[in-house]
Amino acid sequence: MTENDDPGADVDILLHRLDPDLPVPSYAHPGDAGLDLLAAAPVVLPPGGRATVPTGIAIALPRGFAAFVHPRSGLAAKHGITTLNAPGTIDAGYRGEIKVILVNTDTRAEARLERGDRIAQLVIQQVASARFTEVERLPGSDRGAGGLGSTGGYAIAEGAH
């Protein structure tokens, strides 16, 4: 068995193309975590600007799953374009068009994306639903309440921010 035919953690998901002229989004390589989402319309992002971009697809995730709209690292590294609400959350019950909220973090350059460009990637994951039990005191742990940098290790000099 090669990586190409190992089913891994495959899950069947119903997909509806609202824009049948665009291809169904697909994984670039077998085993990739993210499948690229396409822009269904051209978009111009002024420096610092944002836009909500249609992808032309809607999906029906099985209960117990969610999809997350992640940025593409190439767009981020080369052009400063990322997803504003990263990662965007697609709920299992959502049947509307998947939209990508892009932001151009470059303060000087306008960004132009064409219809059909790969603008973000969708990661499908299993998620748990919480059943909360309220208590007066939580069980202890090694970390306790330490967070937000409690373990240290920053290269930035004190007073620099």
Ligand X SMILES: O=c1ccn([C@H]2C[C@H](O)[C@@H](COP(=O)(O)OP(=O)(O)OP(=O)(O)O)O2)c(=O)[nH]1
Nearest-angstrom CA–CA distance, 77 and 89: 23
CA-only gyration radius of the chain, Å = 20
Nearest-angstrom CA–CA distance, 51 and 45: 7
The interface with ligand X within residues 58-77 (CB under 6 A) comprises 69
User: Binding of ligand X at residue 25 (CB under 6 A)?
Assistant: no
User: Binding of ligand X at residue 98 (CB under 6 A)?
Assistant: yes
> Would the annotation count 74 as a binding residue?
yes
Q: Give min distance, CB of 94 to ligand X, in A.
A: 3
Judged by CB under 6 A, which stretch of 8-16, 74-82, 94-102, 135-143 contacts ligand X? 94-102
Which of these, 22, 59, 66, lies nearest to 41 by C-alpha position? Answer: 22
Contacts with ligand X, residue ranges (CB under 6 A): 69, 85, 88-91, 94, 98-99, 101
